[in-house]
Structure 1
Amino acid sequence: MPERHCAREAPRIGGDVKWLSCGTEFIVADVIRWREPVWKPQPRHSKKRPVITGHRVITGQIVKIDRGGWVHIEVTACTVEPAPQWLRPLYPLKRGEAIRRQRGKIGQGKIDRMAWSDETARAAIVGSRFVKV
Protein backbone atom coordinates (compact mmCIF):
# COMPACT_ATOMS: atom_id res chain seq x y z
CA MET A 1 0.00 0.00 0.00
CA PRO A 2 1.45 3.43 -0.90
CA GLU A 3 2.46 5.72 1.92
CA ARG A 4 0.05 8.59 2.54
CA HIS A 5 1.54 12.06 2.81
CA CYS A 6 -0.38 13.17 5.84
CA ALA A 7 0.38 13.16 9.51
CA ARG A 8 -2.41 12.15 11.86
CA GLU A 9 -0.77 12.87 15.19
CA ALA A 10 -0.81 16.27 16.84
CA PRO A 11 2.33 18.35 16.47
CA ARG A 12 4.53 18.34 19.53
CA ILE A 13 6.43 21.49 20.31
CA GLY A 14 8.81 21.41 23.25
CA GLY A 15 8.02 19.17 26.18
CA ASP A 16 5.03 19.89 28.36
CA VAL A 17 3.59 22.91 26.61
CA LYS A 18 0.65 24.79 28.10
CA TRP A 19 -1.86 26.14 25.59
CA LEU A 20 -4.28 28.93 26.52
CA SER A 21 -7.51 29.66 24.65
CA CYS A 22 -7.26 33.20 23.26
CA GLY A 23 -9.87 33.79 20.52
CA THR A 24 -8.65 36.70 18.41
CA GLU A 25 -6.66 38.27 21.28
CA PHE A 26 -3.11 37.54 20.16
CA ILE A 27 -0.09 39.76 19.54
CA VAL A 28 3.07 39.68 17.47
CA ALA A 29 5.53 36.99 18.69
CA ASP A 30 2.77 34.72 20.05
CA VAL A 31 2.85 31.08 18.98
CA ILE A 32 -0.69 30.06 18.04
CA ARG A 33 -2.44 26.84 17.03
CA TRP A 34 -5.77 26.54 15.22
CA ARG A 35 -7.77 24.20 13.01
CA GLU A 36 -9.02 25.24 9.59
CA PRO A 37 -10.92 23.40 6.84
CA VAL A 38 -9.31 22.47 3.52
CA TRP A 39 -11.68 23.03 0.59
CA LYS A 40 -11.78 21.30 -2.78
CA PRO A 41 -10.62 23.73 -5.49
CA GLN A 42 -13.36 24.84 -7.88
CA PRO A 43 -13.98 27.59 -10.45
CA ARG A 44 -14.89 31.04 -9.13
CA HIS A 45 -18.46 31.21 -10.38
CA SER A 46 -19.33 27.58 -9.82
CA LYS A 47 -22.89 26.79 -8.75
CA LYS A 48 -21.80 23.60 -7.01
CA ARG A 49 -21.73 23.41 -3.25
CA PRO A 50 -18.20 23.68 -1.77
CA VAL A 51 -16.74 20.40 -0.48
CA ILE A 52 -14.50 20.09 2.59
CA THR A 53 -11.68 17.65 1.83
CA GLY A 54 -10.25 17.65 5.35
CA HIS A 55 -8.88 19.82 8.13
CA ARG A 56 -5.47 21.31 8.87
CA VAL A 57 -4.10 21.91 12.36
CA ILE A 58 -1.57 24.72 11.98
CA THR A 59 0.93 25.88 14.58
CA GLY A 60 2.90 29.02 13.86
CA GLN A 61 4.48 32.19 15.17
CA ILE A 62 2.94 35.56 14.40
CA VAL A 63 5.42 37.71 12.51
CA LYS A 64 3.34 40.78 11.70
CA ILE A 65 -0.22 42.12 11.92
CA ASP A 66 -1.30 44.55 9.18
CA ARG A 67 -3.62 47.50 9.58
CA GLY A 68 -6.07 45.73 7.26
CA GLY A 69 -6.48 42.88 9.73
CA TRP A 70 -4.15 40.43 7.97
CA VAL A 71 -1.94 38.29 10.18
CA HIS A 72 1.40 37.07 8.78
CA ILE A 73 2.41 33.73 10.30
CA GLU A 74 5.51 31.55 10.00
CA VAL A 75 4.46 27.89 10.12
CA THR A 76 6.26 25.77 12.72
CA ALA A 77 4.12 22.62 12.43
CA CYS A 78 1.15 21.45 10.38
CA THR A 79 -0.85 18.23 10.41
CA VAL A 80 -3.61 17.18 8.04
CA GLU A 81 -6.77 15.22 8.83
CA PRO A 82 -8.41 14.07 5.56
CA ALA A 83 -12.20 13.70 5.45
CA PRO A 84 -13.39 10.07 5.41
CA GLN A 85 -14.87 10.36 1.90
CA TRP A 86 -11.75 12.05 0.44
CA LEU A 87 -9.32 9.49 -1.02
CA ARG A 88 -6.59 11.72 -2.44
CA PRO A 89 -3.69 12.76 -0.20
CA LEU A 90 -3.74 16.19 1.43
CA TYR A 91 -0.39 17.85 1.91
CA PRO A 92 0.51 19.81 5.05
CA LEU A 93 2.08 23.26 4.89
CA LYS A 94 5.88 23.26 4.95
CA ARG A 95 7.78 24.25 8.07
CA GLY A 96 9.09 27.81 7.78
CA GLU A 97 6.52 28.75 5.13
CA ALA A 98 4.97 32.22 5.48
CA ILE A 99 1.17 32.31 5.32
CA ARG A 100 -1.34 35.13 5.64
CA ARG A 101 -4.81 34.87 7.19
CA GLN A 102 -7.53 37.28 8.29
CA ARG A 103 -7.60 37.73 12.07
CA GLY A 104 -11.33 36.97 12.28
CA LYS A 105 -11.05 33.80 10.19
CA ILE A 106 -8.32 32.41 12.45
CA GLY A 107 -10.50 33.15 15.47
CA GLN A 108 -13.26 30.90 14.10
CA GLY A 109 -11.05 27.83 14.42
CA LYS A 110 -10.79 27.43 18.24
CA ILE A 111 -7.46 29.18 18.52
CA ASP A 112 -4.98 28.49 21.31
CA ARG A 113 -1.78 30.31 22.09
CA MET A 114 1.31 28.97 23.78
CA ALA A 115 1.83 30.38 27.26
CA TRP A 116 4.85 32.64 27.59
CA SER A 117 7.51 31.70 30.13
CA ASP A 118 6.86 35.12 31.70
CA GLU A 119 3.19 36.07 31.27
CA THR A 120 3.73 39.34 33.18
CA ALA A 121 5.97 40.56 30.34
CA ARG A 122 3.22 39.77 27.83
CA ALA A 123 0.66 41.56 30.01
CA ALA A 124 2.93 44.62 30.08
CA ILE A 125 3.14 44.62 26.27
CA VAL A 126 -0.63 44.25 25.88
CA GLY A 127 -1.29 46.98 28.46
CA SER A 128 1.20 49.45 26.98
CA ARG A 129 -0.31 52.48 25.28
CA PHE A 130 2.72 52.74 22.96
CA VAL A 131 2.29 49.35 21.33
CA LYS A 132 -0.61 48.85 18.92
CA VAL A 133 -1.88 45.31 19.17
Structure 2
Amino acid sequence: MSLSLRIAVIDDDDEIRLALDDLLSSFSHVVKCYADGSAFLEDQGEFQPDMIVTDYHMPGITGIETIRRLRASGNSTPVILITAFANETARKEAIGVGCLALLKKPFDPNELIRLIEGAAGSCPPHHA
Protein backbone atom coordinates (compact mmCIF):
# COMPACT_ATOMS: atom_id res chain seq x y z
CA MET A 1 0.00 0.00 0.00
CA SER A 2 1.49 3.37 -0.93
CA LEU A 3 -0.68 5.57 1.29
CA SER A 4 0.73 6.04 4.79
CA LEU A 5 -1.97 6.55 7.40
CA ARG A 6 -1.78 7.69 11.00
CA ILE A 7 -3.39 4.84 12.96
CA ALA A 8 -4.27 4.80 16.65
CA VAL A 9 -4.24 1.35 18.26
CA ILE A 10 -6.16 1.10 21.55
CA ASP A 11 -5.92 -2.18 23.46
CA ASP A 12 -5.24 -3.07 27.08
CA ASP A 13 -3.28 -6.19 26.07
CA ASP A 14 0.44 -5.35 25.70
CA GLU A 15 1.06 -8.22 23.27
CA ILE A 16 -1.83 -7.23 21.00
CA ARG A 17 -0.67 -3.59 20.94
CA LEU A 18 2.89 -4.61 20.07
CA ALA A 19 1.73 -7.05 17.37
CA LEU A 20 -0.57 -4.46 15.79
CA ASP A 21 2.14 -1.78 15.98
CA ASP A 22 4.60 -4.12 14.23
CA LEU A 23 2.07 -5.19 11.59
CA LEU A 24 0.82 -1.72 10.73
CA SER A 25 4.29 -0.15 10.84
CA SER A 26 5.51 -2.80 8.38
CA PHE A 27 3.02 -1.28 5.90
CA SER A 28 4.56 2.19 6.46
CA HIS A 29 1.74 3.47 8.64
CA VAL A 30 2.46 5.84 11.52
CA VAL A 31 1.17 4.04 14.61
CA LYS A 32 0.55 5.33 18.11
CA CYS A 33 -0.57 2.88 20.76
CA TYR A 34 -2.72 3.43 23.83
CA ALA A 35 -3.44 1.07 26.74
CA ASP A 36 -7.01 2.33 27.14
CA GLY A 37 -9.65 4.68 25.80
CA SER A 38 -8.93 7.36 28.41
CA ALA A 39 -5.30 7.70 27.31
CA PHE A 40 -6.40 8.00 23.68
CA LEU A 41 -9.09 10.60 24.41
CA GLU A 42 -6.65 12.66 26.49
CA ASP A 43 -4.18 12.68 23.56
CA GLN A 44 -6.63 13.98 20.94
CA GLY A 45 -4.91 17.36 20.67
CA GLU A 46 -1.53 15.71 20.09
CA PHE A 47 -2.27 12.82 17.70
CA GLN A 48 -4.94 13.08 15.02
CA PRO A 49 -5.32 9.59 13.51
CA ASP A 50 -6.70 8.83 10.07
CA MET A 51 -8.01 5.52 11.43
CA ILE A 52 -8.53 3.83 14.79
CA VAL A 53 -8.22 0.15 15.69
CA THR A 54 -9.64 -0.45 19.16
CA ASP A 55 -10.45 -3.33 21.44
CA TYR A 56 -14.07 -3.63 22.53
CA HIS A 57 -13.55 -4.80 26.14
CA MET A 58 -11.09 -2.78 28.22
CA PRO A 59 -11.07 -1.69 31.85
CA GLY A 60 -12.37 1.82 32.37
CA ILE A 61 -13.62 3.28 29.11
CA THR A 62 -14.51 0.51 26.65
CA GLY A 63 -13.85 0.72 22.95
CA ILE A 64 -17.53 1.38 22.28
CA GLU A 65 -17.63 4.19 24.85
CA THR A 66 -14.45 5.68 23.37
CA ILE A 67 -16.09 5.73 19.93
CA ARG A 68 -19.33 7.19 21.33
CA ARG A 69 -17.37 10.05 22.92
CA LEU A 70 -15.52 10.69 19.65
CA ARG A 71 -18.75 10.74 17.67
CA ALA A 72 -20.42 13.05 20.23
CA SER A 73 -17.56 15.52 19.73
CA GLY A 74 -18.08 15.45 15.96
CA ASN A 75 -15.12 13.17 15.21
CA SER A 76 -15.90 10.76 12.35
CA THR A 77 -12.51 8.98 12.13
CA PRO A 78 -13.03 5.46 10.71
CA VAL A 79 -12.85 2.73 13.37
CA ILE A 80 -12.20 -1.01 13.27
CA LEU A 81 -13.35 -2.72 16.46
CA ILE A 82 -11.63 -5.92 17.61
CA THR A 83 -12.86 -8.32 20.27
CA ALA A 84 -12.56 -11.85 21.56
CA PHE A 85 -16.31 -11.80 22.20
CA ALA A 86 -17.95 -11.07 18.84
CA ASN A 87 -21.60 -11.68 19.68
CA GLU A 88 -24.78 -10.12 18.32
CA THR A 89 -24.76 -7.36 20.96
CA ALA A 90 -21.21 -6.37 20.03
CA ARG A 91 -22.12 -6.35 16.33
CA LYS A 92 -25.16 -4.14 16.93
CA GLU A 93 -23.14 -1.72 19.05
CA ALA A 94 -20.37 -1.59 16.43
CA ILE A 95 -22.91 -0.80 13.72
CA GLY A 96 -24.63 1.71 15.98
CA VAL A 97 -21.47 3.78 16.45
CA GLY A 98 -20.50 3.51 12.79
CA CYS A 99 -17.56 1.10 12.89
CA LEU A 100 -16.13 -0.07 9.58
CA ALA A 101 -15.89 -3.62 10.88
CA LEU A 102 -15.90 -5.88 13.92
CA LEU A 103 -13.09 -8.44 13.89
CA LYS A 104 -13.06 -11.44 16.23
CA LYS A 105 -9.75 -12.18 17.95
CA PRO A 106 -7.72 -13.95 16.87
CA PHE A 107 -8.18 -12.49 13.41
CA ASP A 108 -6.22 -12.88 10.20
CA PRO A 109 -3.78 -9.95 10.00
CA ASN A 110 -4.35 -9.87 6.23
CA GLU A 111 -8.05 -9.23 6.86
CA LEU A 112 -7.18 -6.18 8.98
CA ILE A 113 -4.83 -4.87 6.28
CA ARG A 114 -7.53 -5.41 3.60
CA LEU A 115 -10.04 -3.44 5.69
CA ILE A 116 -7.56 -0.61 6.22
CA GLU A 117 -6.61 -0.51 2.54
CA GLY A 118 -10.28 -0.59 1.55
CA ALA A 119 -11.06 2.36 3.81
CA ALA A 120 -7.91 4.29 2.93
CA GLY A 121 -9.60 6.00 -0.01
CA SER A 122 -11.99 7.72 2.39
CA CYS A 123 -9.17 8.84 4.70
CA PRO A 124 -7.45 12.10 3.74
CA PRO A 125 -3.66 11.63 3.85
CA HIS A 126 -1.92 13.38 6.70
CA HIS A 127 0.76 15.93 6.06
CA ALA A 128 3.88 15.81 8.18
Q: TM-score, normalised on structure 1?
A: 0.27
Higher helix share: 2
Structure of larger gyration radius: 1
Q: Output the TM-score relative to the length of structure 2.
A: 0.28
Higher relative contact order, structure no. (Cα contacts within 8 Å, ≥ 6 residues apart): 1
Structure 1 or 2: larger strand share? 1
